[in-house]
Amino acid sequence: MQNTIVVLGSSNTDMIVKTDRIPRPGETVIGGVFSRAPGGKGANQAVAAARAGGSVVFIGRVGADMLGEEALAGYICDGIDVSRVTRDPDAYSGVALIFVDAKGENSIAVASGANANVTPADVEAARDRIESAAVLLMQLEIPIEAVRAAADIAVARGVRVILNPAPARALDDALLRNISILTPNETEAELLTGISADTDRGVENATEALRARGIETVLLTLGTRGVYIASPEYRGIVPCYPVECVDSTAAGDVFNGVLAASLADGRILLDAVRFASAAAAISVTRMGAQPSAPYREEIEVLFRERG
């Protein structure tokens, strides 16, 4: 179990409409193409890690409904251990409604359902898996109390903790001090620091402000500008892989999942970031969240060609 990635987070079913443009408030846009795909930030990251070759345990909740059954079946097909996923009889499975425009940009609304019922007790039930993991990977689509509980267990056993602070929200220093690697985007970094990351100086100031709050390493994802690394060993940007974007819905989730798998596999941080960036680049050339997550062999091809 020493190379295992434990992912604590959300499971959703994505309902996707691809249109020329995202509707404005009060507007109806006709002509969209509908599709449905498994999603949820936690599940997306678990699938991305598993397809990148990681041994993954997923902790979360789904409803005792058809969508929950379909989600679990999909995770099992990807080789994910779902023995710590609870079937919640009192809630529906999570659903995300997603608009994707012609440029691949998206707008998302989420009905959390069973995800909102994840508790510290669920985390405690998976203590053995967390304590024996190489990496604990989390996001913020579940109650913060569960995130805190998992981080406490991991840190006490020296397990590396990666937090993708999305959706954006304020976080206190007690939690941040337990984070080994924080992976915000520009919006999330600004919410946490009050510093805009739209310039090079802003990127440096925002990441240093976060590290000053007790985080060892900050990976600030900057979209087409790449990923800025601020760690004890390295400062600098890893450029993105230029591709034609079709749907950016799960690019950040793919990055985080493959990052966790790469670190669990023993890659140094810089190589892990480059490998995860290659995976994210592949993902934006495809529609959907989990369907867009590439397999290890695909990532290795792009990584070798352009690494």
Q: Annotated catalytic sites, by residue?
A: 253
Please state the length of the chain: 307
CB 220 within 8 A of CB 207: yes
Q: 32: which DSSP letter? A: P
Distance in angstroms (rounded) separating the CA atoms of residues 108 and 248: 12
Distance in angstroms (rounded) separating the CA atoms of residues 2 and 257: 17
Burial class (CB in 10 A: 0-12, 13-18, 19+), 285: middle
Query: What are the residue ranges of helices labelled H in 115-226?
Result: 120-125, 127-131, 144-156, 173-176, 186-193, 200-211
CB 234 within 8 A of CB 162: no
Q: Find out whether the peptide bond into 232 is cis, omega within 30 degrees of 0.
A: no
Helix (H, G, I), strand (E, B) or coil at 9: coil
- Among 79, 78, 75, smallest CA distance to 61 is for 75
Q: Find out whether the peptide bond into 167 is cis, omega within 30 degrees of 0.
A: yes
Residue with the two structure tokens 């024996």: 132
Q: 294: which DSSP letter? A: P
